[in-house]
Amino acid sequence: MADPLTHSKAVRYARVAGLLYLVIIVCAGFSEGFVRSTLVVSGDATATARNIMQSEGLFRLGLASDLIAFMCDAVVAILLYRLLKPVSKTLSLVAASLRLIAHPAIGSLNLLNHYAALKMAGGTGALSVFEPEQMDAWALLFMDFHSMGYLIAGAFFGLHCLLLGYLLYKSNLLPGFLGILLAIASVGYLTESFGMLLVPAYEDIYLLMVAISAGIAELTLCLWLLIKGVRNTENARL
């Protein structure tokens, strides 16, 4: 028997999703925007390995922080699906699947590259057969792999944002401008992912696009869900 989505239940789902979204923003922002951006020195394997070992606790905390964010993302995907299912069951399911693939799946597996960089920078045990310069080079290479994994996940997440934006725009649960913001954010994510694959010379531009578009869209959605909740579900259909 179908479980009806009452207004009170929708509000609870929205607030929980908003709270978890805030955790995601804080944790992912900390790990990517502070830990890795501080410790990883592009093109300098020795400096990167030295930074990782000198701040091993911080580097491990970044890994744990990412994992927490991805676990929360899995729950957010299901809650958003439940909220937007009355708009379109098929599109809501596709959007949720793309979000689950992006971070809980690809993002979580990509953390193995983060961990591998830590092991190579340490160079203990069986890894001691490598020369220090070789281990440093491997540590930086694994962090490069991690960055690429982020971009691959970002492509799936960009599609998710596009569908989520459409669903929000068509629904009366939330203001239509949130859907527009998410659609713009999807362009930023997709441009960064494919831009870095095809024309990496414009990396700074891609990063700026994502920082502005995704930052505004996702933080606004997060705060709206957390503070405002949703409107009456009676009109939340196409």
pLDDT digit of tens for each residue in the chain (238 aa)? 456 778 888 899 999 999 999 999 999 999 999 999 999 998 899 999 999 999 999 999 999 999 999 999 999 999 999 999 999 999 999 999 999 999 999 999 999 999 999 998 877 666 666 787 888 899 999 999 999 999 999 999 999 999 999 999 999 889 999 999 999 999 999 999 999 999 999 999 999 999 999 999 999 999 999 998 887 655 444 4
Structure tokens at 128: 């001691």
Which parts of 31-55 fold into alpha helices (H)? 37-39, 45-54
Q: What share of the chain is helix, strand, coil (3-state, %, to 5)?
A: 85, 0, 15
Report if pTM > 0.75. Answer: yes
Q: Cα dist. 70→63, 66, 91, 107 in Å?
A: 11, 6, 22, 7
Taking a C-beta distance cutoff of 8 angstroms, is the pair 90, 10 a contact?
no
Q: Where are the domains of the chain?
A: 7-231
The overall longest dimension of the chain from CA atoms, in Å, is 66
